Amino acid sequence: MADAQGSEFRSSVSTPTLEVDVLVIGWGKGGKTFAAAMASQGKTVAMVEQSSDMYGGTCINIGCVPTKALVHEASVRRRGDDPHTYFTEAVETRDQLIAKLNAVNFAMLNDRDLVTVVDGRARFVAEREVEVEPRGGGSGRAEHLRIVAETVVINTGAVPVMPDLPGADGPRVHDSTSLQHVRPFPKRLAIVGAGPIGLEFASMFQQFGSQVTLLVRGERILPREDADVAGAVASVLTESGIEIRTNTEPTSFEDGDSEVVVRLDGGSALAADAVLLATGRRPATDDLNLAAAGVDIDARGAVVVDDQLRTTAAGVYAMGDVRGGLQQTFISLDDYRVVLDAVSGSGERRVSDRVGVPSTVFITPPFSSVGMTEGEATEQGHRVKTAFAQVVDVKAMPRPKTLRDARGIIKFVVDAETDKVFGARLFHVDSQEVINLVALAMRAGVTASELRDGIWTHPSSTEALNEVLGQLRE
C-alpha cells in the first residue's frame, strides 16, 4: 500500500523514521478497533504486529475462535468416527476458517489510506518512540525503522506461563497453541492446570476420543466457585470419562520413544501420548524496553494503568491482557471504548464503571458465570436468597432435553433486601447466551422477580428463569 497520508519519512544515519499520530503495538481486539477508529477520525496510524500469523490478534488466530471451532467439531463427532482421522479433518476446517479471518483482519486496516501496517517487533527507545525489528513473511511493511507518535497504545496481549520443570520443553509437551495441531492424535492426554483453558481442552479432547487426565494442584477444580457449583461441573466431567486428580503436581516430564512420562509429587507417574501445560498466561511485556518510555509494570509484568487505562507515561495507554486482569476479548473491546473516550471523547468513561461482566468456559455443556458467588456475597455482609436447580429437573426448560443434553445446574444469588441479582452460575446448553441476558439485567437494575416473570421464547433455555427464580429461598 502507499505510505500513510500525512506521514513523514526522514533518514537518520541508518534508520528511516515514520511519524504518525497514533501507534498501536499489537493487533488484538482493542488495538485493531482503536486503530480503525482513529483512522476514521483522520489520524495517521501505524499498526505494528510481530507475526503475520497474528493479524487480528490472539482470539481470532489461536484463542477463542479456533478453539471454539474445535469444540464444536468435537461435540458432533459420532462414536464410530476414527479419532485420528476426525481430528485431522477438524483441524483442516479450523485452519481454513482462521486463514480467512486473518486475511480479513489484515485488510480491514491495510486497506485504509491512513494506516500503515508494519511487520516487526517494536521496542521503545524513548517516550512515544519505538524501533521496529522487521519480520519477514507478512504482507505489511517490513524494514528496520523508527516510529514516533503522539499517542501510543500497548496491546501486546499475553503469553503462556511455562513451568520451570525438567522436560517441559520436550516434543510431546504442548501449550494451548501447539496442541491444536498435535500429531499424531493423542490417545492419552495429560493436562496440567484446571483453569478455563485446561477445562476446555479436557472436554474437547475427550470428545475427540482421547483418554484425558486432568492434574489439579488444589483440592478441586474451579476453587473460586461455590462448592456446589464446582462439584456439579466436576461430576459432569468425570461422568464423561475425564479423570480428575486433585492435590497433584508434576515434577518432571520424561520423553521416551513413543510416550511421555509425567513424574508426579509423591513419587507416582503417569504415561501419556501428549501433555498440555495449561498453567496460565502472563502479560507479554518482555523485550518492549518499557523503562525507556517511562512505563511502569507490576510484579507480574503487567503494564500499570489508571482507571482510564493511562500508563505512567504521558500519551501512552495499555489495553487488553497486557495490563493484567481478566483475559477476555470482550474486556479488550471495552478497553478500546475507554481509551477512545479518553483520547477523543468526553473523558468520562472508566474501567470501574463496569457492572455484570459475564464469562463462559466452553466445556460441554458450557459453564457461564456473572457477578458474585454465594460465598463472596455473604463474606461481604450481604443477606442473600439463592436458587439452585438441576437442569434435568427444570420442567419449564425443554430445550436441553430436545438436544439430548440435560446435564448441568443453575444457581442464582440475589439480594434478599432489594431483589437485585448479585450473581448467577449457568451450567447448561445455551448458557453462553442466557448469561448475557442476566448480565444486562444486572447492569440495568432489573430484579430477580422481573426476570422470573419475563416472557421468553419457547422452547428455549431462557425459560428456566421462570421456574428457577421462583424457587428463591433465604
Question: Which residues are the active-site residues?
Answer: 458
Q: Phi first, then psi: what are they for 391, rounded to 5°?
A: -55, -40
The answer to whether 198 is annotated as binding is yes
The answer to whether 393 is annotated as binding is no
**CB neighbour burial string for 233-250, b if at least 16 within 10 angstroms, e if fewer:** bbebbeeeebebeeebeb
**Cβ of 124: how many Cβ atoms within 10 Å?**
22
| Lateral strand order in the sheet of 384-390 | 359-361, 367-371, 421-427, 409-415, 384-390
The answer to whether 440 is annotated as binding is no
The answer to whether 194 is annotated as binding is yes
Question: What number of CA atoms fall less than 13 Å from residue 166's CA on the CB side?
Answer: 8
The answer to whether 187 is annotated as binding is no
3-state helix, strand, coil in the chain (%, to 5): 35, 25, 40
- The answer to whether 425 touches 411, Cβ cutoff 8 Å, is yes
To which H or E segment does residue 375 belong? helix 374-379
The answer to whether 197 is annotated as binding is yes
**CB neighbour burial string for 1-22, b if at least 16 within 10 angstroms, e if fewer:** eeebeebeeeeeeeeebbbbbb
Who contacts 118 (Cβ-Cβ below 8 Å, separation ≥6)? 18, 46, 47, 48, 49, 132, 140, 141, 142, 145, 147
The answer to whether 195 is annotated as binding is yes
Exposed, middle or buried by CB within 10 Å (0-12, 13-18, 19+), for 42?
Answer: exposed
Q: DSSP for 7-66, please give it.
A: -EEEE-SS-EEEEEEEEEES-SHHHHHHHHHHHHTT--EEEEES-GGGTT-HHHHTSHHH
C-alpha cell at 459: 422452547
The answer to whether 381 is annotated as binding is no
The answer to whether 228 is annotated as binding is no
C-alpha cell at 191: 493436562
Point out the annotated binding site for NAD(+): 193-200, 280
* Binding site per annotation, positions for FAD: 68, 321
Which positions make up the binding site?
Answer: 68, 193-200, 280, 321
